Amino acid sequence: MTTNALLLANLGSPDSPHVPDVKRYLNQFLMDPYVVDLPWPLRRLLVSLVLIKRPAASAEAYESIWWDDGSPLIVLSRRLQEAVRPLWRHGPVELCMRYGEPSVESVLKRLASQGIREVTYAPLYPQFADSTTTTAIVEARRVIEAHQLPLTLKILPPFYDRPEYQAALAASVEPYLEEPYDHLLLSFHGLPERHIRKLVKDRSHDLRAPDSSKVSAKALAVCYRSQCQRTAELVARRLGIPDGKWSVSFQSRLGKDKWIEPYTEARLDELAKAGVKRLLVMCPAFVADCIETLEEIGDRGREQFIEAGGRELVLIPCVNDNPAWAQALVELCEEVAELPPQPIEQPKMPA
């Protein structure tokens, strides 16, 4: 049997919560044309301006959630890697980060040097977006092409609606529903509207549609916002949460562009003022807890909700290294491993 390595890919993290490391990480992240989709000169100018003050603020945020053994996202991703390792029968299980270390390039080169020829590549993003899924795939293909590595990729597609993932996601939430609560907020990472408009050609597509069943299959395939809505609908249905007791929002805005709505900051205030006292919040765009969940929601979001009149905000952890999620991920990747290898295409980078 051909050895097939499983390569898990997540977003990444600074090497430390210190300003120089955070600045280096932010520069790599924001200079990705799939993240800040401006022509290079404008992107370089904008990012340079952002890097004047933002690294210090971000470093303070990272410091507040940093663990003794490192960045929560890296630590939890490595724990997932270890949970998956005994379940994957085809070869080694490795971990890489799109930004920072371990880099996509270093891991793919090491696998090739070990004689691996097939790689099942698993971007750990449930919903599709160019700024997550596409850039992870393009980077892997770029490395293989640039270094002429004798590797073929089998790529895990977005899995937001797959029963395996949905079951693991629901299982991570169920213990938090045992005590009385007023509302469940599903807060997803935000995205500029133009990122979606570039992909969805239907001008009538509603970027605030409250029901994903009314979205065409063609639009759903590339619309991050609709996939988030479908994720929420499916998990709420699986958990038996009635309409009106759950809602969707989007966090982590950056810059002055129009981002998909409703905004999490606004929803926290609205829910508190509507009489919600005990609020549960989950973040299903992430499979590992990170600065966006632990600090943005668990710290700042909790403080905002209580100041607005709420009593308690409970942050539900991501699926992290839960055994049910590790098993679900392997099952999803097993399907991919059985497919014919996908040819390596010449990367097409934005301007």
Residues at the binding site are 189, 292
State the DSSP string of 101-135.
SSBHHHHHHHHHHTT--EEEEEE--SS--IIIIIH
**Tokens of residue 323, six digits:** 């055994």
Q: Are 250 and 263 in contact (CB under 8 A)?
A: yes
SS3 281: strand
- Residue that is written with structure tokens 């099942």 in the block: 120
Which amino acid, 246?
Answer: W
Q: Which residue positions form the known binding site for Fe(2+)?
A: 189, 292
Phi-psi region of 244 (alpha: psi -120 to 50; beta: other; left: phi over 0): left
| Rounded-to-integer distance, Cα 113 and Cα 150, Å | 10
Q: What are the φ/ψ torsions at residue 280 (nearest 5 degrees)?
A: -100, 135
